Amino acid sequence: MRTASLSFLLFLAASAFAQSSVDGFEYRVVPNNAYAVGERLKYGIKYAGVKAVNTEIAVVKDTVVRGRECYKIEYKARTVPVFDNFYRVDDRYETFIDKQGQFPHSFKQQIREGKFAHDEWMEFFHDKGLAKSLLHGREFPMEPYAQDILSAYFYVRTMDLRSMKDGSIIELKNVSDKEVIPLKIKIRNRDLIETDLGVFRAIVVEPIVQGVGLFKSDGQILIWMTDDENKIPLRIKIKVVVGSLMAEIESMEGLRNPLKSKMQE
């Protein structure tokens, strides 16, 4: 009962803004031909060649947030049981992305990595230029259409990456629980990679971001995305102080478009 009451009070706090909208604000329209409800991607994360973590990203359902139609998207990461005694990981992310404009209305985060724990619940009011941290009781100015780290990935997938030249930079704004941080996505190069699901043409991108948990690193991060309309991440390589982590695609279902980047066997 106490948990339900707290959630209700937090919901009221998020809904109780009396401020007027930013003058002249109109919600943008960004076409999405890359993903749809039912998409589910599963990965295995390896360290030193050994699988340590299972991860999943899923577009779970259509929903409505503050009168706007949204996609609910979830990310989960969980250590393989044998690794729990060494370094247990149980991360969960949830974002609600505006279907028309490809920007987030709400973002929840629960990170459990070893002894480190971090929770967050952000609400975004793009028409008012505000972000609000419900768990920490903070609010701060935000440029309209700033992204959380999970929604940014889906927004980039809606872009025409195939037309961008190597070295091109996509500049976004990433909202953390305290501030808005610049987020850059660099188009590195084109590649041909072999996975357990086959050989694919890929576009290699490099996100440059600060933060905690998902995609947080003190070194380079590289992502190989299918060179087609889906732009599915096939491989994610993160350099860390003691080596590197590698996430490899294990299964994909519910894709919006045919996998035209897959080479014929």
Domain 27-253 belongs to what topology?
YmcC-like fold (2.40.360)
pLDDT tens track for 129-167: 999 999 888 899 999 999 998 999 999 999 999 999 999
Q: What is d(CA 133, CA 175) in angstroms, rounded to the nearest whole number?
A: 10
- Global pTM value: 0.86
Calpha distance 74→97 (Å, rounded): 11
What three-state secondary structure class fits 87? helix
Q: What Cα–Cα distance (Å) separates residue 95 from each residue in 75, 82, 195, 241?
A: 9, 30, 28, 30
What is the DSSP code (8-state) at residue 41?
A: E
Residues 7-44: pLDDT tens digits?
Answer: 444 444 444 443 445 567 899 999 999 999 999 999 99
Say how far apart CA 215 and CA 245 lie, in whole Å.
Answer: 11
What residue segments make up the domains of the chain, in order of their start? 27-253
